């Protein structure tokens, strides 16, 4: 089966703090076709995210397929609040790269 | 009450002063004579340090630059200007700083008399203690447990997130310029719209879409002005920069930005529900939004609190490693260095962190790649302790012992680390977000202390 990587299909893939205790991830597509393809492929789900980031599913606070923006969005709890001792990413903005290589089967 | 229909608000910057406002689009927007000039200056993205230490994250000159643009344009036109969460954190000292900047600018530019309202959002620990004593629950947000007396004690500084209330009151007092303490971003824009009689749902949506300025437009470019227009039926948002447009995708996409979900926004007084928002392209640069709902809080108004607690003094050490054998055994090297700190100082009373760039320095435990092929690593050592002297010593031993790591088969016996500087560097003290909670209030103004003065 032919596959494409998420980085080739999405317009935007980003992560960012959502308040001090969470990091939120947005995968935004240019058009309905790519969005629907990824949405229906079920490669981005609570289960797959938990597996990719090696976190229990309870750490995912929100998972939304947001049709008006052609976007898939999920949010995870941080291990500690942003900027705490030991912080490596105060803004939470470099936590998305593992998503870039997620493979999406083409129909 | 002034009936303006429609009402137009310009937002020049998503975080006033954090990076300077772009002037071209601001003046293009100002030429269209918006009814209000509104801008948010706060963020908790910057970490707990500025709130804890009571400092700004933004440089003084950039804040002054952005305030100057807005003040000159709004006074020239005679339109009100509203700033929320002054100086990044919205504490008393930051509000005072902005009031001083406005007064100085008014003098410099010879502006004629105007009324300046300002309010403080600082929360006294005594207030929270008495709430707890009276049996009130101060609820934790985002999975936190409820607030305890101990946590209040440890906290250095607390601010409350204002809703529309102090802004409406300031406008009722005929303020021409408002400098707000910590506030929800959206209320800075919603307040004048609600006061003018527009539906709450549309007014809060207007605030939600405008608060980050050009982040709701495309192509991606920050610090450009946008204008929001509210009527009884809809909100329209227009990009002002000649190269930007507000499209359905850019506006809907912005609803997701920096928030756990794209549908709900909580403010003191209720919740904005964006589930049934409909987005349409209105003209080339404008998107029209209809359908947001506002659900007023049932029972008492809940006000969000932010608090930062000092953890300790902090130093940073930097070490580079190039030897492949050392790289392969980097965990053992770190273990060794930690053990040396422990041998000299003990195991408790300090914190020591190693961030290994080239391995998982950015993502830590979230990093899916476990097998690395880096030919060099950079190790950042972060040492935190009650005193500067101790933090320096912890960090110094923890860094220098990377150089002395005892690995059985290492070839380089003259030092196992490369140093940029043979010292550790003082960093800002370490803080943590100790409070992310909500408190119920009898009066929405009880946490906000509003003042009015005349300038000029």
Q: Which pLDDT belongs to residue B1?
A: 43
* CB-CB neighbors (< 8 A) of A87 in chain B: 47
Q: What whole-number distance in Å separates Cα of residue B13 and Cα of residue A71?
A: 25
Q: Could you tell me if B243 and B24 are in contact, meaning their C-beta atoms sit under 8 angstroms apart?
A: no
pLDDT at B404 over 90: yes
CA distances B415 to B254, B319, B406, Å, are 51, 11, 10
Poorest-pLDDT segment among A67-81, B161-175, B376-390, B404-418? B404-418
Closest CA to B98 of B179, B18, B178, B177: B179
pLDDT at B2 over 50: no
Cα B128 to the center of its chain, rounded Å: 23
Of A20, A77, A85, Cβ closest to residue B311: A85
Q: Could you tell me if B40 and B75 are in contact, meaning their C-beta atoms sit under 8 angstroms apart?
A: no
pLDDT at B367 over 90: yes
- Phi/psi at B4 (nearest 5 deg)? -110, 120
What dihedral angle (degrees, nearest 10) is formed by the CA atoms of B275, B280, B286, B290?
A: -40
SS3 A35: helix
- A20–B256 CB contact, under 8 Å: no
The verdict on A98 touching B (C-beta cutoff 8 Å) is yes
B4 pLDDT tier (thresholds 50, 70, 90): low
* CB-CB neighbors (< 8 A) of B143 in chain A: 21, 61, 77
> What mean pLDDT do residues B301-320 have?
98
* CB-CB neighbors (< 8 A) of A12 in chain B: 253
Closest CA to B402 of B364, B354, B362: B354
User: What average pLDDT does chain B have?
Assistant: 96
Identify the residue among A15, A23, A53, A86 best suited for mutation to test binding to B, counting B beta carbons within 10 A and taking the highest.
A86
Q: Which pLDDT belongs to residue A107?
A: 74
DSSP letter assigned to residue A34 = H
B22 pLDDT tier (thresholds 50, 70, 90): very high
B129 pLDDT tier (thresholds 50, 70, 90): very high
* A73 membership: H or E segment, kind and range: strand A71-77
B351 pLDDT tier (thresholds 50, 70, 90): very high
- A22–B48 CB contact, under 8 Å: no
* CB-CB neighbors (< 8 A) of B362 in chain A: 88-89, 94-95
For residues B46 and B317, the model is more confident at B317
Identify the residue among B253, B266, B437 best suited for mutation to test binding to A, counting A beta carbons within 10 A and taking the highest.
B253
The verdict on A12 touching B (C-beta cutoff 8 Å) is yes
CA end-to-end span of chain B: 26
- A54–B365 CB contact, under 8 Å: yes
Sort strands B36-42 and B7-11 into parallel, antiparallel or unpaired: parallel
- Phi/psi at B294 (nearest 5 deg)? -125, 130
Interface contacts A/B by beta carbons within 8 Å: 141
> What mean pLDDT do residues B148-164 have?
97
CA distances B416 to A99, B332, B359, Å, are 35, 12, 17
Q: Which pLDDT belongs to residue B258?
A: 86
pLDDT, one tens digit per residue, over B68-109 is 999 999 999 999 999 999 999 999 999 999 999 999 999 999
* CB-CB neighbors (< 8 A) of A80 in chain B: 432
Neighbours of B183 (CB within 10 A): 32
- Enumerate residues 6+ apart whose C-beta is below 8 A from B227: B8, B9, B10, B11, B29, B32, B34, B237, B238, B240
For residue B17, give how far its alpha carbon lies from the nearest alpha carbon of chain A (Å): 18
* CB-CB neighbors (< 8 A) of B292 in chain A: none
Of B45, B142, B311, Cβ closest to residue A91: B45
Q: Which pLDDT belongs to residue B3?
A: 55
The verdict on A87 touching B (C-beta cutoff 8 Å) is yes
Neighbours of B24 (CB within 10 A): 12
* A36 membership: H or E segment, kind and range: helix A32-41
pLDDT, one tens digit per residue, over B245-258 is 999 999 998 888 88
DSSP letter assigned to residue A59 = G
B291 pLDDT tier (thresholds 50, 70, 90): very high
Q: What whole-number distance in Å separates Cα of residue B300 and Cα of residue A27?
A: 37
Neighbours of B127 (CB within 10 A): 15
Q: What whole-number distance in Å separates Cα of residue A100 and Cα of residue A14?
A: 10
pLDDT at B408 over 90: no
pLDDT at B360 over 70: yes
Asked if residue B219 has a cis previous peptide bond (ω within 30° of 0), the answer is yes
- Enumerate residues 6+ apart whose C-beta is below 8 A from B146: B137, B138, B139, B140, B437
pLDDT above 90: percentage of residues in chain B: 93
What dihedral angle (degrees, nearest 10) is formed by the CA atoms of B43, B45, B47, B50?
A: -20
Q: Could you tell me if B7 and B196 are in contact, meaning their C-beta atoms sit under 8 angstroms apart?
A: yes
Burial readout B341-351 (b: 16 or more C-beta within 10 A, e: otherwise): beeebeeeebb
For residue B11, give how far its alpha carbon lies from the nearest alpha carbon of chain A (Å): 22
pLDDT above 70: percentage of residues in chain B: 99
ipTM of this predicted complex? 0.93
Q: Could you tell me if B238 and B229 are in contact, meaning their C-beta atoms sit under 8 angstroms apart?
A: yes
For residue B288, give how far its alpha carbon lies from the nearest alpha carbon of chain A (Å): 13
User: What average pLDDT does chain A have?
Assistant: 95
């Amino acid at each position: 089966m032919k596959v494409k990587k998420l980085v080739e299909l999405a317009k935007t893939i980003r992560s960012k703090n959502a308040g001090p205790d969470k990091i939120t991830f947005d995968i935004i597509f240019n058009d309905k076709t790519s969005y629907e393809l990824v949405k229906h492929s079920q490669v981005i789900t609570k289960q797959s995210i938990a597996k990719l980031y090696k976190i229990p599913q309870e750490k995912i606070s929100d998972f939304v397929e947001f049709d008006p923006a052609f976007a898939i969005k999920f949010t995870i709890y941080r291990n500690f609040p942003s900027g705490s001792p030991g912080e490596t990413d105060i803004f939470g903005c470099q936590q998305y790269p593992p998503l870039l290589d997620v493979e999406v089967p083409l129909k | 009450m002034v009936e303006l229909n429609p009402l137009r608000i310009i937002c020049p910057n998503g975080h006033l002063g954090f990076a300077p406002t772009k002037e071209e689009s601001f003046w293009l927007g100002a030429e269209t004579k918006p009814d209000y000039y509104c801008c948010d200056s706060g963020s908790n993205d910057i970490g707990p340090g500025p709130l804890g230490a009571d400092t700004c994250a933004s440089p003084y000159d950039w804040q002054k630059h952005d305030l100057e643009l807005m003040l000159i344009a709004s006074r020239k036109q005679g339109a009100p200007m509203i700033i929320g969460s002054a100086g990044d954190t919205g504490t008393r000292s930051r509000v005072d700083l902005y009031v001083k900047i406005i007064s100085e600018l008014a003098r410099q530019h010879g502006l004629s008399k105007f009324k300046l309202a300002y309010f403080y959002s600082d929360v006294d620990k005594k207030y929270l203690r008495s709430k707890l004593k009276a049996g009130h629950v101060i609820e934790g947000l985002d999975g936190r447990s409820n607030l305890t007396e101990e946590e209040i004690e440890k906290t250095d500084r607390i601010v409350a997130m204002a809703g529309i209330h102090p802004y409406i009151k300031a406008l009722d007092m005929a303020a021409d310029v408002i400098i707000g303490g910590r506030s929800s971003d959206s209320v800075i824009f919603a307040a004048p719209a609600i006061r003018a009689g527009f539906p709450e749902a549309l007014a809060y949506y207007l605030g939600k879409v405008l608060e980050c300025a050009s982040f709701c437009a495309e192509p991606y470019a920050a610090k450009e002005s946008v204008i929001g227009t509210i009527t009884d039926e809809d909100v329209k948002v227009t990009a002002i920069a000649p190269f930007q447009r507000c499209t359905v995708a850019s506006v809907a996409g912005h609803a997701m930005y920096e928030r756990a979900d794209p549908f709900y926004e909580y403010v003191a007084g209720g919740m904005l529900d964006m589930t049934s928002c409909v987005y349409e392209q209105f003209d080339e640069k404008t998107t029209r939004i209809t359908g947001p709902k506002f659900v007023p809080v049932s029972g008492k108004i809940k006000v969000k609190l932010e608090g930062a607690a000092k953890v300790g003094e902090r130093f940073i050490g930097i070490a580079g490693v190039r030897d492949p054998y050392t790289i392969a055994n980097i965990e053992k090297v770190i273990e060794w260095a930690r053990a040396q700190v422990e041998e000299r100082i003990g195991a408790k009373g300090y914190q020591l962190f190693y961030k290994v760039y080239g391995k998982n320095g950015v993502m830590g435990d979230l990093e899916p790649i476990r097998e690395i092929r880096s030919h060099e690593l950079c190790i950042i050592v972060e040492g935190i302790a009650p005193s500067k002297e101790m933090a320096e010593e912890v960090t110094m031993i923890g860094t220098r012992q990377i150089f002395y790591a005892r690995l059985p088969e290492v070839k380089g016996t003259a030092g196992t680390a490369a140093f940029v500087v043979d010292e550790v560097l003082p960093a800002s003290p370490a803080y943590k977000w100790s409070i992310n909670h909500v408190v119920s209030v009898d009066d929405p103004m009880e946490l906000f202390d509003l003042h009015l003065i005349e300038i000029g």
